[in-house]
């Protein structure tokens, strides 16, 4: 499986679009919020029970900064 081809299912797409429309936010912003909260909820660097099974990848700090920048950009509603 090519990890660059991860896609939302049709049901996930429909759910995000419906929630974004009901919340009057852009779909891109809603997706960023969902992904951000999901990462924070599932993987928590301050808890031993919520860390990845094999430990944090070496490149995680850099990826985490990139994710945070993407999230902040998506949250900047004009």
Give the confidence band of 73 by pLDDT, cuts at 50, 70, 90. Answer: confident
Query: What is the pLDDT at residue 1?
Result: 45
Q: What is the DSSP string of the chain?
A: --GGG----HHHHHHHHHHHHHHT--HHHHHHHHHHHHHHHH--TT-GGGS-TT---TTHHHHHHHHHHHHHHHH---
More confident residue, 24 or 5: 24
Has residue 13 been placed in a domain? Answer: no
The total number of structural domains that make up the chain: 1
Across the chain, mean pLDDT equals 79
pTM of the entire predicted model: 0.54
Has residue 11 been placed in a domain? Answer: no
CB 30 within 8 A of CB 16: yes
CB 52 within 8 A of CB 43: yes
Compute the distance between CA of residue 29 and CA of residue 13 in angstroms, rounded to an integer: 13
Domain that holds residue 42: 28-78
Residues 48-75, mean pLDDT to the nearest whole number: 82
Query: What is the pLDDT at residue 75?
Result: 82
């Amino acid at each position: 499986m090519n990890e660059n081809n991860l896609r939302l299912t049709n049901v996930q797409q429909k759910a995000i679009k419906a929630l974004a429309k009901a919340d009057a936010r852009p779909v891109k912003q809603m997706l960023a919020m969902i992904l951000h909260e999901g990462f924070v909820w599932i993987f928590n660097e301050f808890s031993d029970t919520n860390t990845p099974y094999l430990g944090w990848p070496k490149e995680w700090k850099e990826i985490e900064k990139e994710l945070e920048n993407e999230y902040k950009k998506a949250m900047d509603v004009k």
